[in-house]
Amino acid sequence: MNGVIPLHKEIGLTSSDCVYKLRKILHTKKVGHTGTLDPLVDGVLPICVGQSTKLVNRLTGSPKEYEGEVTLGTSTTTEDREGDVVEDIKLDQAFSNEKLQEVFTSMIGDLTQIPPMYSAVRVNGKKLYEYARAGLEVKRPERQIHLYDFYMMGEPIFDQATGKQTVRFHVRCSKGTYVRTLAVEFGSLLGVPSFMSELTRTQSAGFDLKDTYKLSDIESMIESEEYGFLKSIDDVLEDLPAHELTNEEWEVNVIHGGFLEFSQYDTKKNLRVTKNNITKAIYKYDPMDSMWKPETMLLNNE
């Protein structure tokens, strides 16, 4: 079984939980996810099966889209609703839509982020959340991220009694972005504490939320011997130009990881080489040798 499952991860499950459950459902060990989603976050989590596990890094590196909610007036230890309250104030009045959108727009572009203490980033061999649970604070590495789009969705809600304002948002961001931290930075730019009160990943690796399947859906489909939930490697890589191999290119070169020589393809893009219209490898152009060299071998893709 080779391909990618556009899974709808549900709230309460870790990404590793999903991999474990799918290994049992599919009766295969070669299963891997394409980027961690926190237990309190639901949405698109592409899962690689079989030969497609070699594509994890490629899929993980693509931009992602989220819809969520930030609550203004409170901050927490985990930067989401799971943590303990660190600061709590009562807003005198709601921020105007114009002011909110001004802050959203100001954050678009390149940003420097420090991962939250409650995250899986490793420092000195240990995950940050392990330090946090032990009550320890350590220096966290900065990371460069990029926001392609960040804007308000719908009308913000202001609760006069509690003095809290909730704002829904949409963000399209680069790999490695902590949206929890964006919510905190958003409040900081307004001069108030804040936390991410809700989040759904709506797009990842070319898959939209409407295209996803829940674990229960997959289990039912397997029982009925339906496999529509599994997207082929060819579908996942359809954005790459493809070259149908001759018998000689296949038997003499590709099977043995050999180089190929073409002049008709864009050397700035990776090239998908196929046999009988099935992807067998991804090649990358090497300008030093003026040859195409294998980057990812998928010889067992059927």
Bridge partners, residue 126, by sequence: 123
Going 1 to 44 to 34 to 265, the CA torsion angle's sign is positive
Q: Which of 38, 42, 149, 235 is catalytic?
A: 38
Integer Cα distance of 296 and 252 in angstroms: 17
Helices (H) and strands (E) in the chain, counts: 8, 17
Nearest to 204 by CA among 179, 173, 165, 244: 173
| Three-class SS of 36-58 | CCCCCCEEEEEEEEHHHHHHHHH
- Label residue 107 exposed, middle or buried (CB < 10 Å: 0-12, 13-18, 19+): middle
289 catalytic? Reply is no
Read off the DSSP letter of residue 170.
Answer: E
Catalytic residues: 38
